[in-house]
Chain A
């Protein structure tokens, strides 16, 4: 166990890469082998993720960052590096090092990645065209996501962040689906290009921040914790308020873009709709969380003063996200667009929670990231299944599916109710905590946010009523219920929805100390 605990984080990064590499050499005709490697690897990943979460020590006096590993990678970076090295600094403390560690915020994200990856890998076995290449790219994406969550070195944080984005273009462009509307078409290439270019454009801002922060701190290391120290230092190392403010704006837009921050969210619905099912699951479920996670890691930890000064802006934008996403979802007839916009809306709660800078609110935001990741993945699983069967996602055409797809309808209902925030399901706890935090800091915005939750109930219930209940059109008489693969994927996702809803204590225990440490670092 000790050995495992020391090496688990890097294993979570290497294992999917290794699986991808192995798959390169598997002949593409060996479909069964490809799928078994895909699903087997993600089973191992889930086991590893559960281990990370379970082994995380939240007792009194436990370290903030745990399972820490530092490998020297490259020392000769930065002006002070050579002097520091000749002055006897350890190589891993100078320049770029491969630093790994999880805190109370990263641990649930790792677990989330494990769960969604398994569900996604199971669903991905439905792909007929070039299944092997699909898995290779999917695993590259998963490696990038794990890497971002567990890296505590700014260079590697960014390295993996970009790595997670790169495969999206091909995953959506090759395996995605185009949509045509009455007056215009949205080809899959459009969705793919828009998504990748917008997110990479956002990451440019992050890149500038990383360079500026590193040089401004006069640092010899890219360690996020050390940079945070430099930001807070009272002597001449401290970042000025203006510098922090400007940098925080860049962080907020750069990372916020991936989190679906209004008005930079437009890639999200188009991208999600064009993407194949398992990519939508991973993208809405996990990848969007990288954005919010980045705001916490870089915004709150490295630029505490900038965050404090501009929290209200983030708060307002987050609230707009909630309302704008919900209202847009209300106007959509396409199942995937409804869920795409509902993701924009739900990520708004996360941003609101972060912007409270208050223990309950930030904890709620983290829990919301987990909860939304699971339930949106479940929604996309079912919607993808429906689309494969009916070849339409139009809620005006789909109706009465529940009588033919009992299991599918039940799973969809559970996810929909969780997203509305029904007590007993995961969304409830998270949203309540975000609202408590919001009311304590900005009651007006909090009230607007609650109104957003109300709209969520309207469009979700209307969707369920239209698509699953009511009179069944005769063309849906021969629909089949969930296939075993879809059933397994749904079950993998439903379990944590109930678990968090009924017994959130382990999650709150783990998240709590992590949030406290960050807020203490911000001087709050």
Chain B
């Protein structure tokens, strides 16, 4: 049994940073009250940046041991890639939060430490190679998010969102746990790789039920239709940077876990579950795209659009080919840049004007050309138009799906992208064509400006030259067991 703790150094750092922020927040002298936000934010940012660097520089090239404690935790390039993605996402969210928290929130310490713990949970989800470890990681992420969603004290919507999230989350946890127990009962193991032969044996009610319940529990975290009902309310009520964190990181972590589970354990029974999940993917895309059309709140709109995006990701997941897995990872990377860019604008607008209706974006192009440009780029990327990330990543997803004989699914996907273009153009129209009610320019701090430029550049970089990204992703997915 391998117990080389040094492989877990990044996780120890993350946990340490989380507690460090809590301690600093508690011990900070009264005279430093003004700097509380800055101090806690910079510790969080620094900690995440260190882990990012460690993950990429130290470990990427010298991974020999693939797992720890008899496959409880995998430290391979697949999890390293997600570690880098999650820490980078967390870093970006911290950057976006500084201005927002300074204006709207009272407890920066808890806020930033919970973000770090959420990142830790997400990282562990991508690393876990066994059902119970996966479950604990899922819960670590979920509990951090429950707290974060309800942290806007004094805002009724935040409290409501948090309550809904906790209640529905608890149900999904129960479902998932029941599924795990059934799987364990039928197979006598919780380790993914050891489950493969048992799952491929053919129909067995206990086994099938366990599989379905486990995937459903994950589907809740993933906001897969029909488990998506919580998404709009939570997105709307949560502090906006946390909405971004849920939209990008929590989804990606669930995908990471699902993909590893299906590749390591579910591969042998692929013919049984491919079609049901493909149908759910189609439903997710269509429901997300169509429902988004009637939204007036930008956060709700992005919520539905993120549901649609999950549908796209599931297309890649059901192919379970190397190309499909690559496409999923690339889509997650491109989607992270894109969605963070969109949310960065929403956060900046909200913390300057306090408004979040789509009609409040009227004339944004004259009030802040940079924000309007970044938002337009992000929306076009979500709609899958060149030169932005969405075009290339969707192209890969659809190519992979078609190669596995799922042309019908790809067709539904392209059609729902056109539907989504309709409501993205509505926002573009508000920003560029409609006249603002208030003509004063919106100025944003340099930090926000830099974040916006960075995310925009990332969206374009994935869109025009995905080569280097795909090389890294290719190395990651080859670690992922024998794909189709």
**Which residues of A are in contact with B by a Cβ distance under 8 Å?**
73-74, 76-79, 82, 133, 155, 159-160, 162-163, 166, 169-170, 173-174, 188-189, 193, 196-197, 200-201, 204, 207-208, 211-212, 214-215
- Taking a contact as CB atoms under 8 Å apart, the answer to whether B399 and A170 are in contact is no
> Which residue of A78, A133, A155, A160 is within 8 Å of B403 (Cβ)?
A78
- Give the docked Cα–Cα distance between A461 and B269 (Å): 72
Would you list the 10 A-B pairs with minimal beta carbon distance, nearest first?
A211-B402, A204-B414, A215-B402, A163-B386, A173-B433, A159-B386, A207-B414, A166-B385, A79-B403, A162-B386
Q: Is B415 an interface residue (CB 8 A)?
A: yes
> Which residue of A159, A163, A170 is within 8 Å of B432 (Cβ)?
A170
- Taking a contact as CB atoms under 8 Å apart, the answer to whether A163 and B387 are in contact is yes
> Residue among B322, B414, B466, B471 with the most chain A CB within 10 A?
B414
Q: Is B261 an interface residue (CB 8 A)?
A: no
> Which residue of A74, A79, A215 is within 8 Å of B470 (Cβ)?
A74
> Which residue of A77, A133, A193, A197 is within 8 Å of B418 (Cβ)?
A197
- Give the docked Cα–Cα distance between A204 and B418 (Å): 8
- Taking a contact as CB atoms under 8 Å apart, the answer to whether A77 and B399 are in contact is yes
- Taking a contact as CB atoms under 8 Å apart, the answer to whether A204 and B395 are in contact is no
A sample of 5 more A-B contacts (CB under 8 A), given A160-B386, A189-B433, is A74-B470, A166-B385, A193-B425, A193-B429, A211-B407
Return 22 A-B CB contacts under 8 Å, by A number: A74-B466, A74-B467, A76-B323, A76-B470, A77-B399, A78-B399, A78-B403, A133-B369, A159-B387, A162-B386, A166-B386, A169-B428, A170-B376, A174-B433, A189-B433, A200-B385, A201-B418, A204-B414, A204-B415, A204-B417, A208-B411, A214-B399
Within 8 A of A (CB), among B284-323: 321-323
Given A169-B425, A197-B418, the answer on whether A155 and B323 have CB atoms closer than 8 Å is no
Closest to A155 in B: B395
- Give the docked Cα–Cα distance between A207 and B398 (Å): 9
CB neighbours of A215 from chain B (8 A): 399, 402-403, 407
Closest to A208 in B: B411
> Residue among B386, B391, B402, B410 with the most chain A CB within 10 A?
B386
- Give the docked Cα–Cα distance between A170 and B422 (Å): 14
Within 8 A of A (CB), among B354-369: 369
- Taking a contact as CB atoms under 8 Å apart, the answer to whether A78 and B323 are in contact is yes
> Residue among A76, A170, A197 with the most chain B CB within 10 A?
A76
Q: Is B421 an interface residue (CB 8 A)?
A: yes
- Taking a contact as CB atoms under 8 Å apart, the answer to whether A76 and B421 are in contact is no
Closest to A202 in B: B418
Within 8 A of A (CB), among B378-437: 380, 385-387, 391, 395-396, 398-399, 402-403, 407, 410-411, 414-415, 417-418, 421-422, 425, 428-429, 432-433
- Give the docked Cα–Cα distance between A317 and B418 (Å): 26
- Give the docked Cα–Cα distance between A212 and B465 (Å): 24
Closest to B410 in A: A211
Least CB distance from B429 to A in Å reads: 6
CB neighbours of B321 from chain A (8 A): 79
Closest to A164 in B: B386
- Taking a contact as CB atoms under 8 Å apart, the answer to whether B326 and A76 are in contact is yes
> Residue among A133, A189, A207 with the most chain B CB within 10 A?
A207
